[in-house]
Structure formats: C-alpha cells, structure tokens
Amino acid sequence: SSALRILEPMTMRGLTARNRLWLPPMCMYTVEAQDGVVTDWHMVHYASRAVGGFGTVIVEATAVTPEGRLSPNDLGLWSDEQVAGQRRLVEAIHAGGALAGIQIGHGGRKSGTPPWRPKVEGARTGTLEGWELLAPSAIPFPQHAVPSELDEAGIGRIVEAFAAAARRAVEAGYDVVEIHGAHGYLIHEFRSALSNQRTDSYGGSVENRQRFPLEVVRAVREAIGSQTVLDIRLSASDWAEGGVTGEETAAFSRELVEAGVDVLHISSGGNVPAAVPVGPGYQLPLAQQVKQAVAGSDVPVVGVGLIEEAAQAEQALISGQADAIAVGRAALRDPYLPLRWAADLGVRSWDEAPWPIQYWRGTWS
Ligand code: FNR
C-alpha cells in the first residue's frame, strides 16, 4: 500500500474500498426508451472510471418513481425489469476493482427539468409539459411549474418507493446505496423552510422538516439489510437567508448516523437561486463541520466540489477536512484520474497505485 492518504483503503460497514477517491453521481441523461434501463453508454462510462482507479464509483441519480425523474432520459429503479441492466453495470464496475454504488432519488419540484431545457422568464417554465411535480409545498422553483403538495399517503408511497428501489439496488449487487438528499430535490425540499411551509407534522420545526428524510433513511436501512453501505448526500447549506445551514446539517448528521447511515457525502446548494462562493474546495469547510459533529462515530465524510489537483485532495485528507474525496467534472475529462494523480504525487510502483492488472507493462521502470 501507499503512504499517500488518497490511496489508503477505506472501510465502511465491513466493505473496503481500495482507496479514498470517489466518482460522485453524475447524470448521463442517456436512457433513450424512457424505461430507465442501463444503456451501453453507462457500461462504458462507469467501467472506464473503475478501470481508471476510483475506489468507489457512484452511479448517477436514479429515480425511485417515474415522476421523480429529472428528465425522461434518467435511469430508474422503480421496476423489477430495471434490475438486470444494473446487475451487468455492477459486474463491470467490480471488474475494474471499485466498489459499486448507486444514488437513488426523487426530484420533487425540480423533476422533469433537464438542464438543456431553456429557462425563459414569463409564462414558459423550465419544466417539461405534462410532468406531475410533487413537493412538500406548492411553492415552485423559479421558472419551474407549480408542484402539488404531497398528502400523507403520497409521502408514505414515496418512502416505500425509496425502500423498494434500494432493495432492487441490493438485488443488482450494489455495495453502496446513496440517498440523494441534496441539490434541491425532494428530500432537501422537506429539510428547508424555503421550500417546506407545511403546517402538519412534516413541516414547521426543524424536527418536523427532518421527519420525511429520516423516514426514508430508516426505510432504506431496513430494506438493504446489514451488508450494504448506506450513504446519504446532503446539501449542507442553502447559501440563503432562512434556509438550511451548516450548523443545522452538522446536528442532523448525528441523527442520520443514529438512524443507520454509514457515510455522509457533503455537497451544497440547489434549493433556491443563491450566490454560492464557488472556488477550489469551496464545500470542504461544510464537510469538516459535519466530520467534527460525527467525530464520535466511525462514519466517514466524503468531500466534493472543485477538488481538481492531486495535492489539493491529499491536503484535504491530511488536514482532516474529509475522509474521502469525490471528483466529478475533472473525472469527466479524465477517466484515469486516480492513476494520474498517483503518478503526479510520485507513485511509480505497481503495488501502490490502483493499476488494473492488464496494464502491468505500464509499471516497468
Ligand atoms: C452532477 N452532479 C450531480 N450530483 C448528484 O448528486 N447527482 C447527480 O446525478 C448529479 N449529476 C451531475 C451531472 C453532471 C454532468 C455534473 C457535472 C454534475 C454534481 C456532481 O456530483 C458534483 O457534486 C459536482 O460536479 C461538483 O464536483 P466537481 O465536478 O467540482 O468535482
């Protein structure tokens, strides 16, 4: 093994990833038939990043119900027919040496609004026509359609859908199930007073706003059993007055750990338009705040957001800002980023870097 922190193995609930570099979930909008089924593109894209050396590969936001998709071209796990393709994808990721994870989510009031959809001021919205939007309150995201407020039966159905999708993910062989609790999608919408103005037991106090997220976590924990790692991605801050704060997220993280979460993946923003202080590693202080809050547990925290240099990632781990680093856009430019980062930091030997065995000649000096 290597002296580098990014290349140290990482154990979660008895499963060990070969290193601390994560491919974060990134939508490919590649499903053609609107059936949520894995395509050849997904096979090539994710297998490449596993071969490229990532320790944990998280497959993109995958919908737990059809109306919870972000676009008609999203992956889904709302039906048993979607499991076979996912099983092949897991096998390909495993063949590349990575743990396989999948993000399951519901888009809430931001469903049906793919990024290529023009957002125009006025009567037109960013939401695809005819898409049924479900949310905690009938408050639209700017320039999106007005969502319907979920009633308690609707909330219960979505909790069940998360559990059923998670069960299918386990059937497909996934090691890690990541609940999408970030970026202004349904779970985040419940957490934030800016999008949740309910007057029943799911809104009002912080405790009430966290009720639905915790119900999802407990249902998924139960559905996936004791062998599968449960990860949740959070937006730690809304970057907006009256919204979710880092402090609130740190306290919430302790409850999530108690409810059975094994990993916390810390992102931010997306619930309301906001001036986000984007820059290198800009979300790492939020990850560190969460890490300090759960310090008594052995639950690792994944940091993400404009971490694009090997030395920067290494330093974030050394300084205790996070326990693992997810690299998104830089890994779209370079699927072999972990191998390159190992080389950037001076690793030359075959047994220290995450080389696929097929590349053994590459390690001749
Ligand atoms: C994303 N991101 C994202 N996040 C998420 O939680 N679920 C998702 O499905 C997606 N989809 C997605 C698609 C594409 C093309 C991009 C570029 C990003 C956000 C992503 O996981 C990551 O948090 C950000 O890109 C910030 O990290 P980087 O790219 O600065 O390393």
Average pLDDT over residues 192-207: 98
State the distance from the centre of ligand 1 to the C-alpha of 361, rounded, in angstroms. Answer: 34
pLDDT tier, 13 (very low <50, low <70, confident <90, very high otherwise): very high
pLDDT tier, 258 (very low <50, low <70, confident <90, very high otherwise): very high
Rounded to 10 degrees, the C-alpha dihedral 301/306/311/316 comes to -30
Write the residue with the smallest CA distance to atom 31 of ligand 1.
328
Please list the active-site residues.
Answer: 180, 183, 185
Q: Distance between CA atoms of 117 and 315, rounded to whole angstroms?
A: 38
Q: Which residues pair with 82 in a beta bridge?
A: none
pLDDT tier, 351 (very low <50, low <70, confident <90, very high otherwise): confident
Looking at residue 329, its amino acid is R
Mean pLDDT (the chain, rounded): 95
Number of residues in the chain? 365
Angle at 185 between CA 183 and CA 189, to 5 degrees: 100
The answer to whether residue 350 scores a pLDDT higher than 80 is no
- Percentage of residues in the chain with pLDDT exceeding 70? 95
- Beta-carbon contacts of residue 201 (< 8 Å; ≥ 6 apart): 208, 211
Average pLDDT over residues 38-62: 98
State the distance from the centre of ligand 1 to the C-alpha of 24, rounded, in angstroms. Answer: 6
- Beta-carbon contacts of residue 48 (< 8 Å; ≥ 6 apart): 96, 335
Instruction: Output the pLDDT for position 358.
Output: 85
Token pair recorded at residue 32: 């053609």
The answer to whether residue 304 scores a pLDDT higher than 80 is yes
The answer to whether residue 117 scores a pLDDT higher than 70 is no
Instruction: Output the pLDDT for position 341.
Output: 97
- Percentage of residues in the chain with pLDDT exceeding 90? 88
C-beta atoms surrounding 224 within 10 Å? 20
Q: Is 306 in the pocket of ligand 1 (CB under 6 A)?
A: yes
Instruction: Output the pLDDT for position 246.
Output: 98
- Indicate the top mutation candidate among 26, 41, 282 to test ligand 1's pocket, ranked by most ligand atoms within 8 A of CB: 26
Token pair recorded at residue 73: 């071209």
State the distance from the centre of ligand 1 to the C-alpha of 74, rounded, in angstroms. Answer: 14
Q: Distance between CA atoms of 283 and 280, rounded to whole angstroms?
A: 9
87: left (phi over 0), alpha (psi -120 to 50) or beta: alpha
Instruction: Output the pLDDT for position 348.
Output: 82
Residue 71 · residue 146 · CB < 8 Å? no
Backbone angles phi, psi at 170, to 5 degrees: -65, -40
State the distance from the centre of ligand 1 to the C-alpha of 56, rounded, in angstroms. Answer: 15
Token pair recorded at residue 122: 């006025």
Q: Assign 228 to helix, strand or coil.
A: coil
Residue pLDDT, tens place only, 135-186: 999 999 988 899 999 999 999 999 999 999 999 999 999 999 999 999 999 9
Q: Distance between CA atoms of 48 and 42, rounded to whole angstroms?
A: 10
Average pLDDT over residues 29-52: 96
Q: Distance between CA atoms of 270 and 356, rounded to whole angstroms?
A: 37
C-beta atoms surrounding 229 within 10 Å? 22
> Could you identify the atom of ligand 1 that is nearest to the CA of residue 60?
9
The answer to whether residue 79 scores a pLDDT higher than 80 is yes
Write the residue with the smallest CA distance to atom 22 of ligand 1.
328
Q: Is 231 in the pocket of ligand 1 (CB under 6 A)?
A: no
Residue 221 · residue 258 · CB < 8 Å? no
Average pLDDT over residues 293-301: 96
Instruction: Output the pLDDT for position 122.
Output: 44
Average pLDDT over residues 213-226: 98
Q: Assign 313 to helix, strand or coil.
A: helix
The answer to whether residue 121 scores a pLDDT higher than 60 is no
Q: Distance between CA atoms of 156 and 176, rounded to whole angstroms?
A: 24
Q: Which has the higher per-residue pLDDT, 179 or 1?
A: 179
Write the residue with the smallest CA distance to atom 14 of ligand 1.
26
Q: Is 104 in the pocket of ligand 1 (CB under 6 A)?
A: no
Q: Is 276 in the pocket of ligand 1 (CB under 6 A)?
A: no
